Structure 1
Amino acid sequence: MTSAPAQPDSRPARLITDGLEPKNWVILVTLLVGWHADRLAGIGWGLVAALFSAVIPILFIKWGEKKGHWGDRHVRRRQDRLYVIPGILLSVAAGLTLTYCLGGPREVTALVIAMLVSLFVVLAITVWWKVSVHTAVSAGAIAILVLAYGPWPLLLSPLVPVIGWSRVKLRDHTLAQVVVGTFLGAVVGGAVFQLLR
């Protein structure tokens, strides 16, 4: 699917897409899982996970955007994602190696592995179809937080369809792509985290 121009009244959708982008969810979930795992020390490990899973990937994406390799930080073209996602995978794998080798908390390690596995699944699908990373990451983050903290993070779940709406409104994804992204993130991310924590 190639992106069509956004509709003129799409400012709210753009604000939602930008404000609730994957990087922000990753930072939230890494810090909260870190806190759950080992309080203040866990926050430190969460910051390490956030560095390799959110900060370095967004810097890589912005570098590619500046060089003209892809259009913007949301990497709209499916073909461009086939280059971006492996770069993100390398960064997340480096963070996992560091966390594991330095004895990071089991829950934080499980979280990073869950993100890594989810990214591999997204990459496999991206070879032929452009699944929504926005809904995959938000749904996966909520599922993992529910497993760690209990039901209260379900209060965040209405944000997932709102994000999905924004992606469809901006014509970056179809309804099917946001639904599959939601299912993938919650099921794959949640299952791997639960299995390993």
Structure 2
Amino acid sequence: MITDSLEPKTWIIAVTVLMGWHADRLPGIGWGLVAALFAAVIPVLFIKWGEKHGHWGDRHVRRRQDRLVVIPGVMASVTAGIVLMVLLGAPSEMTALIIAMLVALIAILVITLAWKVSVHTAVSSGAITMLALAYGPWALFVYPLVALVGWSRVRLQDHTLAQVVVGTLLGSAVAGTVFSLLR
């Protein structure tokens, strides 16, 4: 239940809408929804399509070799979203957010070539870190949810403790750094 309710799409939708509000209030929420479309909705549809056609086992894409196909597909959607947002003049904080997500995906893909890192903890940790950078340190009060997500991934035997710890550190360090530099 934890893995499913606190999966990457949940965090992505939350962070894009909250960052949209921070960037430009009501119009920013519109930008957040555009970002969520390319960073969460289209990727989920792509994953469901692949699952339905037997290209990978399930929506969590548990097999490392399947992730080597899925992650570039997600990256293509996120890249298209970045291009659209830049062309349409999205607030810089919004494009920084989505570019930070793309760079984190690149780091995840590179690690996935050799090892299965936790995308669940990378995304949750990165989302909270970027929210804390925008809204202030109070956002860190929800950081224990990252540990809960990590625990669920280990408990389900989808990841080792090392894989969730590396995902947590990677998400926070990469997304936080890129977001800070670009916003």
TM-score range for the pair, normalised by the shorter chain length: over 0.9
2:92 alignment partner in structure 1: 106
Which residue of 72, 75, 78 maps to 2:61? 75
Q: In the TM superposition, what whole-angstrom CA distance separates every residue of 1:119-144 from its partner, at most 9, and x where no partner exists? A: 00000000000000000000000000
Q: Are 1:21 and 2:7 an aligned pair?
A: yes
Instruction: Give me the whole-angstrom Cα distance separating, in 2, the residues matched to 1:169 and 1:177.
Output: 13
Q: In the TM superposition, what whole-angstrom CA distance separates every residue of 1:13-42 from its partner, at most 9, and x where no partner exists? A: xx0000000000000000000000000000
1:130 alignment partner in structure 2: 116
Q: Please report the RMSD computed on the Cα atoms of aligned residues, expressed in angstroms.
A: 0.4
2:126 alignment partner in structure 1: 140
Which residue of 163, 169, 172 maps to 2:149? 163
TM norm structure 1:
0.92
Q: Are 1:119 and 2:125 an aligned pair?
A: no
1:48 is paired with a residue of what secondary structure?
A: helix
2:171 alignment partner in structure 1: 185
Instruction: Give me the whole-angstrom Cα distance separating, in 2, the residues matched to 1:156 and 1:137.
Output: 14
After the TM superposition, which parts of structure 1 deviate over 3 Å for at least 4 consecutive aligned residues?
Answer: none
Instruction: Give me the whole-angstrom Cα distance separating, in 1, the residues matched to 2:59 and 2:158.
Output: 13
1:155 Cα offset (Å): 1.4
Alignment-mate amino acid for residue 86 of structure 1: P
Q: Are 1:58 and 2:44 an aligned pair?
A: yes
1:152 Cα offset (Å): 1.4
Answer with 1 or 2: which has the greater Rg.
1
* Structure 2: runs of 5 or more not aligned: none
Q: Are 1:34 and 2:20 an aligned pair?
A: yes
Instruction: Give me the whole-angstrom Cα distance separating, in 2, the residues matched to 1:54 and 1:108.
Output: 15
1:161 Cα offset (Å): 0.7
Q: What is the total number of aligned residue pairs between the two structures?
A: 183
Instruction: Give me the whole-angstrom Cα distance separating, in 1, the residues matched to 2:12 and 2:163.
Output: 20
Instruction: Give me the whole-angstrom Cα distance separating, in 2, the residues matched to 1:157 and 1:38.
Output: 25
* Structure 1: runs of 5 or more not aligned: 1-14
